[in-house]
């Protein structure tokens, strides 16, 4: 299978870029790992992956002068965007990891730490998602499919943005969608068959331009 559009995977020095790039390559998509403004402008869709601390992630985006170009391409030009793990959390309003830090504020909500005496932190491994509503990103994905997670914090957006929940002592948000902005707390690039299916669905989404 091959696709006609190009995916910009944003390189802001925050983890798992190679595995994301290889996953897109595996499904026949053209993905470029980049932090060059022209390449981001030329891309049809944008992916923000990431592993690590929220505040450091925002600082890296600022240091590389990526916030303005991302705002322009995603918010103004309405390119389809997928945030993965930390990349999803950065779309939020703020995080309370270490200290309060501001996010991109594309999806209203806060990022908070898992709490519970019996919970192992970080939440690592396979866990199932339960859909709150249907969504194009999850076409052909059965409800209660397992995906791979690695995180200590979780996103708490307004209910209207939630696509799926996952239980880890309590129900937390595992995917979101606000217009052209999509996010997964889990790692589709590490989630085998159905993870690749999500990436295919993302590549096939039509930009509203």
The 10s digit of each residue's pLDDT in 101-155 is 999 999 999 999 998 778 899 999 999 999 999 999 999 999 999 999 999 999 9
The pLDDT mean for the chain works out to 94
How many domains does the chain divide into? 1
pLDDT value, residue 11: 96
The structure tokens listed for 193 are: 């068959």
**CA nearest to 199, candidates 58, 80, 36:** 80
Q: Residue 209: inside a domain, yes or no?
A: no
pLDDT value, residue 157: 97
For residue 208, name the pLDDT band (cuts at 50, 70, 90): low
**Cross-strand bridge partners of residue 48:** 83
Is 123 one of the catalytic residues?
no
Q: Residue 1: inside a domain, yes or no?
A: no
Q: Residue 64: inside a domain, yes or no?
A: yes
Cα–Cα dist 91/48, whole Å: 10
Which domain does 147 fall in, by range?
6-204
Write out 75-117 in H/E/C secondary structure. HHCCCEEEEECHHHHCCCCEECCCCCEECCCCCCEEEEECCCC
Q: Residue 69: inside a domain, yes or no?
A: yes
For residue 16, name the pLDDT band (cuts at 50, 70, 90): confident
Average pLDDT over residues 175-200: 97
Residues 54 and 89: beta-carbon distance below 8 Å: yes
Q: Residue 179: inside a domain, yes or no?
A: yes
Instruction: Report residue 7 CA to chain centroid gap.
Output: 14
Alpha carbon separation from 172 to 7, 36, 57, 59, 175 (Å, rounded): 28, 34, 22, 26, 9
Catalytic: which of 73, 151, 154, 189? Answer: 189
Average pLDDT over residues 43-47: 97
Q: Residue 39: inside a domain, yes or no?
A: yes
Q: What is the pTM of this model?
A: 0.95
β-pairing verdict for 109-113 and 94-95? parallel
Q: Residue 191: inside a domain, yes or no?
A: yes
CATH code assigned at 25: 3.40.50.880
Is 56 one of the catalytic residues?
no
Catalytic: which of 154, 184, 187, 197? Answer: 187
Q: Residue 180: inside a domain, yes or no?
A: yes
Catalytic: which of 73, 85, 151, 154? Answer: 85
Alpha carbon separation from 171 to 127, 154, 166, 191 (Å, rounded): 12, 10, 5, 20
**CA nearest to 16, candidates 189, 141, 184, 194:** 189
Is 37 one of the catalytic residues?
no
pLDDT value, residue 3: 54
């Amino acid at each position: 299978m091959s696709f006609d559009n190009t995916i910009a995977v944003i390189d802001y020095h925050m983890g798992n870029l190679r595995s994301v790039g290889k996953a897109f390559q595996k499904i026949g998509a053209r993905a470029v790992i980049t932090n060059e403004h022209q390449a981001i402008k030329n891309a049809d869709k944008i992916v923000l992956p990431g592993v690590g601390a929220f505040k450091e992630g925002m600082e890296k985006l600022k240091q590389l002068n990526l916030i303005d170009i991302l705002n322009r391409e995603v918010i103004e030009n309405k390119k389809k965007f997928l945030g993965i793990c930390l990349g999803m959390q950065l779309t939020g309003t703020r995080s309370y990891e270490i200290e309060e830090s501001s996010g991109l504020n594309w999806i209203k909500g806060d990022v908070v730490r898992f709490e519970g005496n019996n919970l192992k932190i970080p939440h690592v491994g396979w866990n199932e998602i339960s859909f709150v509503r249907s969504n194009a990103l999850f076409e052909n994905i059965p409800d209660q499919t397992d995906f791979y997670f690695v995180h200590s914090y979780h996103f708490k957006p307004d209910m209207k943005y939630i696509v799926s929940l996952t239980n880890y002592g309590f129900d937390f948000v595992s995917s979101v969608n606000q217009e052209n902005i999509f996010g997964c707390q889990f790692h589709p690039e590490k989630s085998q068959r159905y993870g690749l299916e999500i990436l295919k669905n993302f590549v096939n989404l039509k930009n509203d331009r």
